[in-house]
Structure 1
Amino acid sequence: MSQKPLGLICAIPNEIQHFGSSFEKRDEKLIAGFSFLLGKLDGVETVLVEAGMGKVNAAIVTTLLLEQFNCRTVLFSGVAGGVDPKLGVGDVIIGAKLIQHDYGMIVSDKLTTYQPGHLPIHMPTEKLGYDADAELIDKIFGELKDFELPIISAEAAGGKARKPAITSGTILTGDQFIGCTVARDRLGNELGGLAVEMEGAAIAQVAEHYQVPFVIVRSLSDLAGEESTMDFVKFLEETAGGAALVLRRIIRLL
């Protein structure tokens, strides 16, 4: 490859399938049980991989993308649960900060979140989370200024069809599927998250160690409450495409 490729991760088949024919596969390499597809996404050299769910899988494939394929930027496209009540199903969030909400210390049945890699007994660092490149985020939103996503159906949108919003903010990562309004509200109030998922902050942690940029794009498949399991399954196909469309729009900037 004359230019370093992009590394694009999805967690599940429902997310990766939205790149479809826009990805021109040239080769495939199987490493550590993961299938890495080499080719071009909308004309841009890209290595595409389905990681499976969870932080460990995400960290493994991110490391392999950087070590084996020398990717210049690591991307993620997929779905998440909404945390901010102002957001709705189908809205897309580009992560400005990624926080691992499940790393820390539990005292009196309460978890205090710490920065991963540090002993969580005293506050070893004031830093919490991994910040995306602010200039890159600004550049991305300049490109998205006039971009509109397809209308979300009335069923998915809770009764009235609507145009999804695209925003940026904090995305929370942990190895649990959040199907509890109390837990969702706690995460929002304590950590300021807009959405919660299971891979992004692990990707960001690895990318920071390798000093390469990362871009995490998530569309909301549910609102992380008691109905989230049913909503996730019902609206996954419709909502996962939003993140893929946004990523395809910005890919040439990356």
Structure 2
Amino acid sequence: MAGQPLGLICAIPNEIQHFGQAFQLGSEKSVAGFSFLIGKLEGVETVLVEAGMGKVNAAVVTTLLMEHFNCRAILFSGVAGGLDQGLGVGDVVIGSKLIQHDYGMVVDEQLTTYQPGHLPIHLPTSTLGYDVAPALIERVMTALVDFELPEISAAAAGGLARTPVITSGVILTGDQFIGCTTARDRLCAVLGGLAVEMEGAAIAQVAERYRVPCLIVRSLSDLAGEESTIDFMQFLEETAGGAALVLRRIISLI
């Protein structure tokens, strides 16, 4: 493991820009149309890349990080929609389990989610999702106990500026932007998701194949309801920075 870098993925420019001058660029390499920035983040050898949105982009870039850069772990920093209504815009969720919510079987107009590659009629399994090592989550959350993020503005917080919460739990992944309270509430109730996004569980699936750890850090840019498209655009810049700050705090522990 000595000498192997970490791979750090963001989906969009609004997420990757928050690493700014904190990332010390050494060199750059282009592979399959993706630009991989090779350098150091908080003194840790890191390969930073903007993948684009969606599960396929995330899986391709994760594979390239392993095959071309021999990364020892894969990290993601970015935004997500909030599913648990106990959380608010700006709060940060660190994924302890990643589930692809849009893979499964539709019967009577309802989707039952299954583990990718499995269905009850073909290679059935009771496994659902990709678990992050509990020891890693405990180590990370312990390091964040006294870490305080900057206040979220009153506009983003729904009236009063507040300090974001940092928590861990289930993050759901699918190639859908959730802007529907009915879908949001179902995903939270059925799959126990705290947040929903478009890349994390695909990264986790590839990382499991390569037998390397992964860690997904997400700031909530919206609450996955009917106002989500407006909130996402309005609060994206402000909230994406929270995930980057958390990741910078814990990167030396990975």
Q: TM-score range by the shorter chain?
A: over 0.9
Determine helix, strand or coil for the equivalent of 1:162.
coil
Matches of 1:108 and 1:123, distance apart in 2: 22
Tell me the residue number matched to 2:135. 135
* Cα offsets for 1:24-75 (capped at 9, x unmatched): 1111111111110000112110000000000000000000101110000100
Give the superposition deviation at 1:119: 3.4
Matched, 1:247 2:242: no
- Tell me, in whole angstroms, the C-alpha distance in 1 between the residues paired with 2:61 and 2:8: 10
User: Mapping of 1:197-212 within 5 angstroms?
Assistant: 197-212=197-212
Mapped contact 2:119–2:125 kept (Cα < 8 A): no
Q: 1:123 to 1:190 in 2, by over 3 A?
A: farther
2-structure distance, mates of 1:2, 1:169: 30
Amino acid at match of 1:103: Y
Q: Contact 2:105–2:119 at 8 Å: present in 1 too?
A: no
Equivalent position of 1:89 in the other structure: 89
Moved over 4 A (4+): none
Task: Please give the TM-score of this superposition, normalised by the length of structure 2.
Answer: 0.98
What is the distance in 2 between the residues matched to 1:121 and 1:47? Answer: 40
The answer (yes or no) to whether the contact 1:4–1:70 under 8 Å persists in 2 is yes
Counterparts of 1:30-69 in structure 2, within 5 Å, are 30-69=30-69
SS in 1 for 2:155: coil
Shift of 1:129: 0.1
CA RMSD of aligned residues (A): 1.2
Corresponding residue SS for 2:218: strand
Q: Measure the CA separation in 2 of the matches of 1:42 and 1:150.
A: 19
Q: What is the count of residue pairs matched by the alignment? A: 254
Note if contact 1:104-1:120 (Cα within 8 Å) is conserved in structure 2: no
- Name 1:25's counterpart in structure 2: 25
What is the deviation of 1:141?
1.0
Query: What TM-score comes out, normalization by structure 1 length?
Result: 0.98
- Which ranges of structure 1 fall in alignment gaps of 5 or more residues? none
CA change 1:202–1:149 in 2 (3 A) is same
Please tell me whether the aligned partners of residues 79 and 221 of structure 2 are also in contact (alpha carbons under 8 angstroms): yes
The alignment-based identity, stated in percent, is 76
